[in-house]
């Protein structure tokens, strides 16, 4: 209700019902993704911006692609290497069970894709200082330390935002991109990569964080049921 004060109770109930249907589907699709071939995955998760991010890679730049827990972000991470000539570094939050975490990490990785735990991000960026990489990060997690977070108005609420993506973009002068995944029908999606900025050093870190969150909000408002509302997004207050 806080996110959509303009919607009626009936509309909110509809979104809630649609979300739980979607959540069930995304769990099944996540499991299916472990065994899908490149051909099938390309058919089910189509890139509709074929020049991105490759046009920036062709200029000799690395890229930092931000997304959200929206539509099928899992397949987006698995298929990232199909569209990048550079190594793909997927930054993710590890699962506490090490056996399951290692299994999932190996199952998701393919070709030139490497999964790095989020706490290893500084090392990953440093390793690729002198060579290209496509960094992929689902950045709408709630920060573990709200005292160090950036704060923006997101879906009508004061929201803590990870400061890492903005800091890495500025420190390494890496173009900041956004990936929008939309559901076409059950089991079929599109991916579109757009540019937030090619010149991150012209902005303050807080401005880059706001730029990302405002884009994510724009996407969520199109189809609210496709965002992961079960995520405890507003557990911190300023």
CA angle 218, 189, 12 (to 5 degrees): 45
* Strand ordering across the sheet containing 176-185: 45-47, 188-197, 176-185, 63-67, 133-138, 87-92, 113-117
Instruction: Identify the bridge partners of residue 87 per DSSP, sorted by sequence position.
Output: 133
Its sign, for the CA torsion 205, 79, 85, 100, is positive
SS (H, E, C) 166-206: HHHHHHCCCCEEEEEEEEEECCEEEEEEEEEECCHHHCCHH
Q: List C-alpha distances in Å: 40 to 46, 103, 188, 236.
A: 10, 22, 10, 40
* DSSP secondary structure letter of residue 128: T
pLDDT at 204: 97
Rounded Cα distance between 199 and 150, Å, is 20
Strands (E), 69-210: 87-92, 113-117, 133-138, 150-154, 157-161, 176-185, 188-197
pLDDT at 238: 82
Rounded Cα distance between 204 and 167, Å, is 9
CB atoms within 10 A of CB 121: 18
pLDDT at 104: 61
Residue linked to tokens 């496509």: 134
Rounded Cα distance between 216 and 67, Å, is 8
Rounded Cα distance between 60 and 125, Å, is 16
Residue ranges of the chain whose pLDDT lies below 70: 1, 94-111
The separation between the first and the last C-alpha atoms of the chain, rounded to the nearest angstrom, is: 20
Query: Where in the chain are the domains?
Result: 9-226
* DSSP secondary structure letter of residue 227: B
pLDDT at 77: 84
Q: What is the pLDDT of residues 91-104, one digit of tens each?
A: 987 666 665 556 56
pTM: predicted TM-score of the whole model, two decimal places: 0.92
pLDDT at 206: 97
Residue linked to tokens 């046009």: 55
């Amino acid at each position: 209700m806080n996110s959509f004060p303009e919607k009626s109770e009936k509309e909110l109930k509809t979104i809630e019902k649609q979300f739980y249907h979607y959540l069930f589907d995304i769990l099944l699709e996540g499991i299916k993704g472990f065994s899908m071939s490149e051909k099938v995955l390309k058919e089910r998760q189509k890139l509709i911006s074929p020049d991105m991010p490759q046009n920036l890679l062709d200029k000799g730049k690395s890229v930092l692609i931000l997304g959200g827990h929206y539509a099928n972000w899992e397949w987006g991470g698995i298929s990232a290497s199909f569209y990048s000539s550079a190594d793909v570094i997927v930054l993710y939050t590890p699962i506490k069970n090490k056996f399951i975490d290692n299994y999932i990490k190996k199952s998701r990785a393919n070709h030139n894709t490497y999964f790095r735990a989020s706490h290893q991000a500084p090392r990953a960026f440093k390793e690729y200082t002198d060579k290209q990489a496509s960094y992929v990060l689902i950045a709408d997690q709630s920060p573990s330390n709200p005292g160090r977070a950036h704060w923006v108005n997101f879906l009508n609420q004061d929201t803590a935002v990870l400061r890492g993506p903005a800091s890495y973009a500025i420190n390494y002068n890496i173009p900041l991109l956004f990936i929008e995944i939309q559901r076409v029908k059950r089991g079929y999606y599109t991916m579109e990569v757009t540019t937030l900025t090619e010149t991150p050093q012209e902005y303050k870190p807080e401005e880059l964080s706001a730029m990302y969150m405002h884009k994510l909000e724009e996407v969520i408002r199109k189809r609210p049921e496709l965002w992961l509302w079960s995520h405890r997004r507003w557990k911190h207050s300023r």
